[in-house]
Amino acid sequence: MAKVLMKGNEAIAEAAIQAGCRYFFGYPITPQNEIPAYMAKMLPKVGGCFLQAESEISAINMVYGAAGAGARVMTSSSSPGISLKQEGISYIVGAELPCLIVNIVRGGPGLGGIQPAQSDYFQAVKGGGHGDYHMVVLAPSSIQEMVDLVTDGFDIADKYRNPVMILGDGMLGQMMEPVEFREKKTILPEKPWATTGNKEGKPRNIINSLFIDPQGLEDHVLKLYKKYDEMKENEVRVECYNCEDAEIIIAAYGTMARIAKNVIQMAEEQGIKIGLIRPITLWPFPVDTFKKWADSHHVKAFLSLEMSMGQMVEDIRLSVDGAKPVHFYGRTGGMVPTPKAILEEIKKIREGI
Amino acid sequence: MAKVLMKGNEAIAEAAIQAGCRYFFGYPITPQNEIPAYMAKMLPKVGGCFLQAESEISAINMVYGAAGAGARVMTSSSSPGISLKQEGISYIVGAELPCLIVNIVRGGPGLGGIQPAQSDYFQAVKGGGHGDYHMVVLAPSSIQEMVDLVTDGFDIADKYRNPVMILGDGMLGQMMEPVEFREKKTILPEKPWATTGNKEGKPRNIINSLFIDPQGLEDHVLKLYKKYDEMKENEVRVECYNCEDAEIIIAAYGTMARIAKNVIQMAEEQGIKIGLIRPITLWPFPVDTFKKWADSHHVKAFLSLEMSMGQMVEDIRLSVDGAKPVHFYGRTGGMVPTPKAILEEIKKIREGI
Amino acid sequence: MAKVFEKPKALTDKPFHYCPGCTHGIVHCLVAEAIDELGIREKTVGVAPVGCAVFAYDYFNCDMHEAAHGRAPAVATGIKRVLPDNVVFTYQGDGDLASIGAAEIVHAANRGERLTTIFINNAIYGMTGGQMAPTSLVGQVTTTSPYGRSADTEGHPIRVSEMLATLEGVAYIERVSVHDIKNINRAKKAIKKAFEIQLEGKGFALVEVLSTCPTNWGMTPIEALRWLETNMIPYYPLGVKKEVE
Amino acid sequence: MAKVFEKPKALTDKPFHYCPGCTHGIVHCLVAEAIDELGIREKTVGVAPVGCAVFAYDYFNCDMHEAAHGRAPAVATGIKRVLPDNVVFTYQGDGDLASIGAAEIVHAANRGERLTTIFINNAIYGMTGGQMAPTSLVGQVTTTSPYGRSADTEGHPIRVSEMLATLEGVAYIERVSVHDIKNINRAKKAIKKAFEIQLEGKGFALVEVLSTCPTNWGMTPIEALRWLETNMIPYYPLGVKKEVE
Amino acid sequence: MAKVTFNEDLCKGCELCTTVCPKNIVIMDKHRINSKGYHPATVEEMDKCIGCAFCARICPDVVIEVEK
Amino acid sequence: MAKVTFNEDLCKGCELCTTVCPKNIVIMDKHRINSKGYHPATVEEMDKCIGCAFCARICPDVVIEVEK
Amino acid sequence: MAHEVIISGFGGQGVMSLGQLLTYAGMLEGKNVSWLPSYGPEMRGGTANCSVIITDELVGSPIVTEATAVIAMNLPSLEKFEKTILAEGLLIINSSLVDSKTTRDDIDVIYIPANEIADELGNNRVANMVMLGAYLEKTRVVSPDSIIESLREVLGHSKEHLVPVNQEALKRGAQLVKNKG
Amino acid sequence: MAHEVIISGFGGQGVMSLGQLLTYAGMLEGKNVSWLPSYGPEMRGGTANCSVIITDELVGSPIVTEATAVIAMNLPSLEKFEKTILAEGLLIINSSLVDSKTTRDDIDVIYIPANEIADELGNNRVANMVMLGAYLEKTRVVSPDSIIESLREVLGHSKEHLVPVNQEALKRGAQLVKNKG
Ligand SMILES: Cc1ncc(C[n+]2csc(CCOP(=O)(O)OP(=O)(O)O)c2C)c(N)n1
Ligand SMILES: Cc1ncc(C[n+]2csc(CCOP(=O)(O)OP(=O)(O)O)c2C)c(N)n1
Ligand code: SF4
Ligand code: SF4
Ligand code: SF4
Ligand code: SF4
Ligand code: SF4
Ligand code: SF4
Ligand SMILES: [Mg+2]
Ligand SMILES: [Mg+2]
């Protein structure tokens, strides 16, 4: 197909529809309003259903119901709205339902602001809801990747019967870039577990996350963790850029990774060799990639670049496990680090080496 | 005062009242129902107000209002209910309001079960809500300590104008132990920022977390992080038990730490030297304590013991930073590790050393 | 001899976990009979609440969802939008529906979702051990209203059916009771009608069932039925609150 | 010459950020005048919503809280319980009050919290750029009802005042409009009364104000006032919905 | 002729069935205890039963089957 | 005699005030642009003003003061 | 020595309060103590139990997995907990409600017809105190006086009249053990 | 060369769509492009702006902090963005609405009476296209044909009749530059 110019938010919506998503439940919030607006316009045309829920809580619970009924379904929101969905997300994981949840992050805490931020990283990857659980968290850094990851996200969700989150930010949601919708036949998997009616002779389907016997609950959680092990095995995605003979490796995801590439170019012009590890799956985190580069003699240090006060840096430290120093530089609240300031930071680190 | 035998939940409530808490907003959920029941009975007798809110969300927002109006106020709940409070908690942090939030953790995810668990550790310490923020998280391991930490928790909350969380579990909430209420004069601090009415000539007080200008929001977050640095400086609490010449150091908090002490005794009888680091503040985490012991030559390894699938273990690894191996053993979903099984685990670790 | 009363097909063989004399069991039976009589078991999907009826998914012999506390109407909406030709019902307690789930029920009703809601008003939080519900009567002693519910500080008990009946999307609302045979039979008719309304696509249907909680009311089951009759019915008048043609 | 109209003392000097002709400004002025006339500015605490009126904390010249979206009634309850002798009011939009905050408003009203609520019904989500509100009219085109609101799938617009008026805790509810001078004057009286009700400790008071959103309705301010008059008032009848003596 | 059958082990001894029988023939069997630990309900004078099914109708645990 | 004063820089040119004046003397000044970029409202024939304050009453931006 | 006891029975048999009295008495005597109830919906009409620890050492886990004694007020309790008793531990069975015998032969077993004795005393709610009397006589964990003191604390003044019957129940339980021993 | 442009003006002056057209045209010509709007409540009646990048290299950050060109449709835009222009960069000012001159002397400045020209063309909504015409003539980032192709794409068939006036506006803007240059 030809390239089209699209806003990130609209691209997400279009990608979802092309991936066979026919149900969307959401509640307005800046900066993701183009997603529901697009869905409201397009879903009725493809026999789907868009419904503006009365709240984010209702939206996520409608998703729970629709997913349990076997639909390919999604919701989207931004930071405060995602906080409200935490109980629901925990339920969806507990009941092993597939769905896609989009968070177009804005500055926090509280009402905060509406400019782009990455300060919901912890919430997304460590679990903002209660209990032991994980979600695959996908962090696109271009509109094209957003489109591709939406498709993959639905497939991963179905494969493991677990929610998948797309973690974007206000900038990715609002910006436009050329994007290509690759022709791809969507084959929705059979969902024999879905509650579509209990025909005589079939076992009943029950969507549930209650296990009143603690041994039963532990067994269930262990089952979930088996899936998480498989995800760690199969679903890690990461881009390494310029890492060969890099002296310092930046780690950055999403919008920050784009800026990191500018920095790398600037640094190169000044004769400084900088690499980039760009986690595409924030969970499962590309631990081995970090370990590998941490073991290379030419790498002297890592620098986590974030639009937050230092969240992903913990996962990097956990991966590198003391092998090399891991630094942090970030801005927050909607402020976006400039390539210049980052380069300054890198120079300081080099002096310290 | 004489010792009395009290349930953990009731002790929390009594301690709060003695600490000058006069307002409680909550919503029923097992296994913390004795807290609101006690408050409902006692608060009217001391001129306070107990109100059962229509939901956890309303409860946390009533707390927001009451805290902003200058009250010493608290709420309590258990895992799913705490998930629902995440947006509110993020707001309370953002608006810099003091309050006490109690989570008597039960098994998750989803509806899960009602037996004791520690699987909300990440949610509590990494921030289940959106945005960059922290709370002091206190983890008592006896009813006496629960009482003491409730008092301290209110004071810390007021000192920093930040919410404080008590992270207990169903076992601590339900069990009875002797407890002493130490005579202590509660001096509630002045709160000139509270919205008690705008007398002519005074500046207006505004409780707010919105900073529409991203630079303004970043400045605000930096201000919060300055407080967090102070908390890291002043508020870390930790118990070290038997660590001198321990070969393996267990890290455990709350209920798990009690069981760890049984293990240490059992191990001692078998000639195995085990120590315990018991974080009392889960945030700020006692990083330096771990670092210190990690540097001792006699310590060969750490073992994080949890009633979860491995959450605190990450903070231990971050603290130890590769200096010594950090192992993990846990049960979840309401299952409580037995001293025997733990000792087996320790023996396996020793073989590996 | 013919069977004049037997266990409905739409109930599983699992014995109820309810306390002795708890009327949740009676209502389960009525719901199952309605499903049987309408022959819709195979296309029915039920939504269980968080409350004493949380295990309803074990009892109703059809596909079931367990919803988060208060969110059954939203969950049911999700299901029904995906499966418009199936029959979707929710079963909710008064804490679940009238307190934490107030927004969800108001909006499902207002949207006129084609759902059948069974609303068990037992004037208390049963499952969590007897806290005040929004429907607890003035003066009623519960663990969180130890001095009796005060109208002044806690408000009057909420009459959900009357409130929801003001909404356009509602096709049918009736309040019934199960304290004696006559009323149980009326309740049965109402519940069946609430399913028929859905089958006819008319809109949202709800049956509020006045119920007992002998355990947390601190009464024998028989005393509880009398208390319901004497104290609840005068405040919660029985009857159809709304019905569209 | 005497001033017959000037900016009320209970408004700060900060210019409003509202769009040209947005009636939020008119209502702000009425609320401030009521506060001035009752001489309660010093003891009033206001609660701002999340919506176009989010910056109300900058405009009302009294202590203010900014509440999370929909939670103003809960926040106000917290304040009022701590400060029963102060006057607490909330100012909420229709997305805020009628949608996400439906449970909070129902329960604050039902408890009879001594609060004054100003409810701005402009049939749309203004702040987020014109999505459908629960109060949007059937057929109304918004960004999330691009083919016009459908009664069948999205339900009829909700008449909040009528619904809340069924609750015992409510002492006063009136629906007013601000599309012309006569109605603005009526609105002023109603708003003042809603404060008086609180001062008298009678219970919960709410004034629903039909308002315009020229920007998201896609009209000039004058057209918007006419649209309100022609389309909203017939569906949302003005007048007192409940008043206790 | 009518007959009522009790699935006795399901009975929780709530006694509701005893209050609705028009013939007053449903009683609690104080001599026996079922597996749940309750005195189960029973009918002694079965011949008086008119098969109205009131007892079954009110039983919250679906203990009773009625034939006529 | 009556007088209306416009805090002109606050005016957003919404024209609401022009619709309510019983004397029809409130008009938009198409010749000027205020600091916000709008043509501000104004009264040209002030002597006709009766000080009814309708214009001020409906102004959403509290631009107008009225004396009498 | 550490006493780690499980007390179990139907809801309504007073197993929770029995455990609390014992714990309270331990506290009065300056011991380290803990009490831990089972909780959850299975309590609805089902069995309830609590764990009590009374010791001079520190109380670690309040869970009793290896009991020095089990007081079984009904059959399900016996079935559930007899296997948790330590070798040479103690099992006290309420023979009024429990027909079966224990399958363990490495423990000390006492059968007490607690309900019958309570009925004799004219108050069948004190069956639990009969069991406690037996337990105390056997183990001397705390003195019966401490139990009575605890009881006074718990009952409050208004129910002072209930003290004698409880006292009597304790004695009768103790007597049975003495007679056997 | 990388073109990094900021286009700014009042809401309603078509700055967003201007930026989108330019970006679209860049894409049609096989360049790497991005478009980034400002968003937020300050847009309510205030100014709006967008950043456009058209380059042969990879597009990193879509934010333009050092602009190769700024198109200022009104005064606040000029004040806000003139300092972001790179030395030797380009500034195009809508002189119909902006009285002031730039304070920079290290850049190339063009004054275009865009609204007046648009009025002459009988459609004051094409003022933005006049500005764009000037910009294209000066920089030749993309061809006017690509812009028209983009416009057709965006407008759709029903508004085909608007194409000529836009085409004309582009030309007039270009003409002004040619005349000056
Ligand atoms: C979010 C959340 N809050 C609270 C609870 C605890 N909870 C379980 S059931 C229940 C109320 C039950 O009362 P009701 O809905 O009236 O049902 P009943 O048991 O009376 O039938 C509550 C508060 C929960 N599980 N989840
Ligand atoms: C939890 C949460 N959800 C959604 C939003 C986004 N949001 C901000 S204002 C608003 C609705 C505004 O509409 P309304 O309440 O009608 O007020 P108006 O702007 O029309 O005056 C929404 C959905 C938010 N800030 N927080
Ligand atoms: S607690 Fe009450 S509502 Fe719940 S099962 Fe028992 S009697 Fe029924
Ligand atoms: S968007 Fe609508 S409601 Fe908001 S300020 Fe503008 S006109 Fe008013
Ligand atoms: S069927 Fe009727 S008559 Fe027969 S036992 Fe039951 S209630 Fe009595
Ligand atoms: S009603 Fe049913 S459960 Fe109750 S006593 Fe009769 S048979 Fe037993
Ligand atoms: S005060 Fe009355 S008469 Fe005078 S200008 Fe205003 S509206 Fe017209
Ligand atoms: S009503 Fe006010 S803002 Fe509107 S034009 Fe008149 S003076 Fe200006
Ligand atoms: Mg109930
Ligand atoms: Mg609105």
User: Any idea which of B137-151, D81-95, H111-125 has the lowest mean pLDDT?
Assistant: H111-125
CA dihedral defined by B302, B307, B310, B313, rounded to 10 degrees?
A: -30
Is A273 among the domain residues? yes
- A118: tokens are 């990455």
Whether B187 and chain H come into contact, CB under 8 Å, resolves to no
pLDDT band of G1, cuts 50, 70, 90:
confident
User: Cβ contacts of residue E33 below 8 Å, gap of 6+?
Assistant: E39
End-to-end Cα separation, chain A, in angstroms:
49
Q: Is B28 left (phi over 0), alpha (psi -120 to 50) or beta?
A: beta
Please give the Cα distance from E12 to G149 (Å, whole number). 38
Please determine, for residue E37, whether its predicted confidence score (pLDDT) is greater than 80: no
Q: Ligand 2: which atom is nearest the Cα of residue D93?
A: 15
Q: What is the pLDDT of residue A184?
A: 77
Is D8 among the domain residues? no
User: Any idea which of B218-227, C172-181, H55-64 has the lowest mean pLDDT?
Assistant: H55-64
Q: What is the pLDDT of residue A192?
A: 97
Mean pLDDT, chain E, whole residue set: 94
Cα-to-centroid distance, F42 and ligand 8 (Å) = 9
Same domain, A106 and A178: yes
Ligand 6 binding pocket includes E11 (Cβ within 6 Å): yes
Please determine, for residue C238, whether its predicted confidence score (pLDDT) is greater than 60: yes
Please give the Cα distance from A209 to C10 (Å, whole number). 23
Distance of CA B340 to the CA centre of its chain: 28
Helix (H) or strand (E) holding F66: strand F64-67
Pairing of strands D204-210, A248-251: unpaired
Q: Which of residues 22-41 of G touch C (CB under 8 A)?
A: 41
- B232: tokens are 């890291």
Q: Which amino acid is at G106?
A: D
pLDDT band of H173, cuts 50, 70, 90:
very high
Is B9 among the domain residues? yes
Q: What is the pLDDT of residue G155?
A: 79
- In this predicted model, what pLDDT tens digit does every residue of A258-293 receive, in sequence order? 999 999 999 999 999 999 999 999 999 999 999 999
Is A216 among the domain residues? yes
pLDDT band of G11, cuts 50, 70, 90:
confident
Ligand nearest to the CA of F51: 7
- In this predicted model, what pLDDT tens digit does every residue of D169-200 receive, in sequence order? 999 999 999 999 999 999 999 999 999 999 99
Please give the Cα distance from C8 to C64 (Å, whole number). 17
Q: Is the ipTM of this complex over 0.90?
A: yes
How many folded domains does chain D comprise? Answer: 1
If you average pLDDT over residues D47-53, what whole number do you get? 98
Cα-to-centroid distance, C21 and ligand 3 (Å) = 9
Nearest to D77 by CA among D33, D40, D42, D114: D114
Is D152 among the domain residues? no
Collect all residues of chain D within an 8 Å Cβ-Cβ radius of residue F67.
Answer: 1-4
Nearest CA to ligand 7 atom 4: F49
The single-letter DSSP state of residue B106 is B
Please determine, for residue D103, whether its predicted confidence score (pLDDT) is greater than 90: yes
Please determine, for residue D245, whether its predicted confidence score (pLDDT) is greater than 60: yes
Residues of chain B with confidence (pLDDT) below 50: none
- G143: tokens are 């003195």
Render E5-58 in DSSP notation, one character per residue: EE-GGG-----HHHHH-TT--EEE-TT---TTS-PPEEES-GGG-----HHHHH
Q: Does the bond joining C134 to the residue before it have cis omega, within 30 degrees of 0?
A: no
- In this predicted model, what pLDDT tens digit does every residue of A180-232 receive, in sequence order? 998 877 889 999 999 999 998 889 999 999 999 999 999 999 999 999 999 99
**% of chain H with per-residue pLDDT over 70:** 96
Q: Which of residues 5-34 of H touch A (CB under 8 A)?
A: 20, 23-24, 27, 33-34
Is B175 among the domain residues? yes
Is C151 among the domain residues? no
Same domain, B23 and B131: yes
CATH code where residue A271 lies: 3.40.50.920
Handedness of CA C15, C19, C20, C21 (dihedral sign): negative
Q: What is the pLDDT of residue H181?
A: 61
Among D102, D156, D162, the residue with its CB nearest the CB of C169 is D156
Are residues C174 and C207 in contact, defined by beta-carbon separation less than 8 angstroms?
yes
Neighbouring-strand partners of residue D105: none
Same domain, B67 and B181: yes
Pairing of strands B163-169, B176-180: unpaired
- C74: tokens are 């939203």
Q: What is the pLDDT of residue A201?
A: 85
Distance of CA B220 to the CA centre of its chain: 25
Cα-to-centroid distance, D107 and ligand 5 (Å) = 45
Is B193 among the domain residues? no
Please give the Cα distance from B295 to A35 (Å, whole number). 52
pLDDT band of A93, cuts 50, 70, 90:
very high
Is A102 among the domain residues? yes
Nearest to A169 by CA among A264, A92, A82: A82
Q: What is the pLDDT of residue B1?
A: 60
Neighbouring-strand partners of residue C168: none
Residue indicated by tokens 């968290």: A137
Please give the Cα distance from E32 to E34 (Å, whole number). 7
| Helix H127-139, helix H15-28: angle, nearest 10 | 40
Q: What pTM was estimated for this model as a whole? A: 0.98
Is C90 among the domain residues? yes
Are residues C24 and C211 in contact, defined by beta-carbon separation less than 8 angstroms?
yes
Ligand 3 binding pocket includes C215 (Cβ within 6 Å): yes
Among B79, B91, B130, the residue with its CB nearest the CB of A82 is B130
Are residues B180 and B2 in contact, defined by beta-carbon separation less than 8 angstroms?
yes
Task: Specify the higher pLDDT residue, H101 or A281.
Answer: A281
Same domain, A142 and A14: yes
pLDDT band of A326, cuts 50, 70, 90:
very high
Domain coverage including residue A98: 4-187+209-234
Q: What is the pLDDT of residue A156?
A: 98
Are residues A144 and A179 in contact, defined by beta-carbon separation less than 8 angstroms?
yes
Neighbouring-strand partners of residue C119: C92, C208
Please determine, for residue G181, whether its predicted confidence score (pLDDT) is greater than 70: no
**Burial of D151 per CB tally in 10 Å (0-12, 13-18, 19+):** middle
Q: What is the pLDDT of residue G45?
A: 59
Pairing of strands D44-48, A274-279: unpaired
Q: What is the pLDDT of residue H41?
A: 65
Ligand 1 binding pocket includes C95 (Cβ within 6 Å): yes
Determine the longest span between alpha carbons in chain B, in angstroms.
74
Same domain, B123 and B77: yes
Ligand nearest to the CA of D18: 4
User: Cβ contacts of residue A310 below 8 Å, gap of 6+?
Assistant: A304, A328, A330
Q: Would you identify the CATH topology of the domain G3-180?
A: Pyruvate-ferredoxin Oxidoreductase; domain 3 (3.40.920)
Q: State residue D32 phi and psi, 5-degree precision.
A: -65, -40
User: Cβ contacts of residue B227 below 8 Å, gap of 6+?
Assistant: B160, B161, B162
CATH code where residue D55 lies: 3.40.50.970
Is C170 among the domain residues? yes
Collect all residues of chain G within an 8 Å Cβ-Cβ radius of residue A212.
Answer: 40-42
- In this predicted model, what pLDDT tens digit does every residue of A134-160 receive, in sequence order? 999 999 999 999 999 999 999 999 999
Are residues B90 and A108 in contact, defined by beta-carbon separation less than 8 angstroms?
yes
Domain coverage including residue C41: 24-126+158-213+220-243
Are residues C110 and C167 in contact, defined by beta-carbon separation less than 8 angstroms?
yes
Render C1-63 in DSSP notation, one character per residue: --EEE---TTB-SPPP-PPTT-THHHHHHHHHHHHHHHT-GGGEEEEE-SSGGGGHHHHBSSE
If you average pLDDT over residues H53-65, what whole number do you get? 94
Q: State residue E28 phi and psi, 5-degree precision.
A: -90, 135
User: Cβ contacts of residue G156 below 8 Å, gap of 6+?
Assistant: none
Distance of CA F68 to the CA centre of its chain: 15
If you average pLDDT over residues A340-345, what whole number do you get? 96
If you average pLDDT over residues G39-50, what whole number do you get? 73
If you average pLDDT over residues C129-149, what whole number do you get? 98
Nearest CA to ligand 5 atom 8: E21
Q: State residue A173 phi and psi, 5-degree precision.
A: -70, -35
Are residues A34 and A10 in contact, defined by beta-carbon separation less than 8 angstroms?
yes
If you average pLDDT over residues F26-36, what whole number do you get? 88
User: Cβ contacts of residue B100 below 8 Å, gap of 6+?
Assistant: B16, B21, B73, B74, B75, B150, B153, B154, B157, B163, B164, B165, B166
| Helix C102-111, helix D102-111: angle, nearest 10 | 110
The single-letter DSSP state of residue D11 is B
Are residues B99 and B21 in contact, defined by beta-carbon separation less than 8 angstroms?
no
How many folded domains does chain A comprise? Answer: 2
Please determine, for residue H45, whether its predicted confidence score (pLDDT) is greater than 80: no
Strands (E) in B257-342, as ranges, are 274-279, 281-283, 301-306, 326-330
**% of chain A with per-residue pLDDT over 70:** 100
Are residues B36 and B77 in contact, defined by beta-carbon separation less than 8 angstroms?
no
Do the chains contact at H36 and A171, CB–CB below 8 Å? yes
Pairing of strands B326-330, B301-306: parallel
